[in-house]
Amino acid sequence: MVTIKCFTNGGFGENTYVLSDDSKSCIIIDPGCYSKVEQESLKNYIEEHGLKVEKIVNTHCHIDHVLGNYFAKKTFKAPIYIPENEQEVLRAVPTYAPMWGFPDYQAEEPDFLIKRKDKTLSFGDTKLEVLYVPGHSPGHVALYHAEQKFCINGDVLFRMSIGRTDLPGGNHEQLLSSIAEVMFELPNDTKVYCGHGEPTSIEFEKKNNPFCRVES
């Protein structure tokens, strides 16, 4: 049984997720914790539940999703995984972080790349399917758990919205294709955990999302 804990960080309202299973292993997805309060909240949860961090995973490497990479790696001694086409996105963050109000951002290189051929990402007794869903950023991935029917989808699909595509490397048509050909191929009752805002479902977005709903 996978347990999902969400932490919402900063002015971006970015959602960081901790996924853990009965083995007490866990992964941290998109650590956006920048302030001491946010960092301590994440650390306390993991320590209080006796969890062992196996991996730190970025669905993509925009600034709001990587602000806590350095802290998480230093604190939990776990390797960082990023999608292979997100390296340049990550390397650009230090150049603009001060202008976005993050003068103390500390860059951290990835330890491993999630490659296009990689089909799964594991921790403890759990296997997550890696979905390649570019458009919001060049190498964006989502993580799907078939047994419990949930997907951590970063900034691809939001409740009644989709990820922005006006940042470097964004491609609107590619994002719509990722949603139609990958996300909307998941079961309708899949719960979608988003990089910002509340969770949604595939069925709800097919019926109601003004950007990508499926006409019946």
Closest by alpha carbon to 137, among 103, 101, 105, 93?
93
State the CATH number of the domain containing residue 106.
Answer: 3.60.15.10
DSSP-derived pairing of the beta strands 25-29 and 52-57: parallel
Q: Is residue 152 part of a domain?
A: yes
Q: Is the pTM of this model over 0.75?
A: yes
Q: Is residue 215 part of a domain?
A: no
45/5 Cα distance (integer angstroms): 9
Q: Is residue 213 part of a domain?
A: no
Per-residue pLDDT at 100: 94
Per-residue pLDDT at 38: 98
Q: How many domains does the chain have?
A: 1
Per-residue pLDDT at 215: 80
* Residues linked to residue 52 through DSSP beta bridges, in sequence order: 25
Q: Is residue 139 part of a domain?
A: yes
Q: Is residue 216 part of a domain?
A: no
Q: Is residue 168 part of a domain?
A: yes
Burial of 95 (0-12, 13-18, 19+ CB in 10 A): exposed
Per-residue pLDDT at 171: 98
Tens digit of pLDDT per residue, the chain (216 long)?
999 999 999 989 999 999 999 999 999 999 999 999 999 999 999 999 999 999 999 999 999 999 999 999 999 999 999 999 999 999 999 999 999 999 999 999 999 999 999 999 999 999 999 999 999 999 999 999 999 999 999 999 999 999 999 998 999 999 999 999 999 999 999 999 999 999 999 999 999 999 999 987
Burial of 143 (0-12, 13-18, 19+ CB in 10 A): buried
Q: Is residue 214 part of a domain?
A: no
> Domain of 163?
3-208
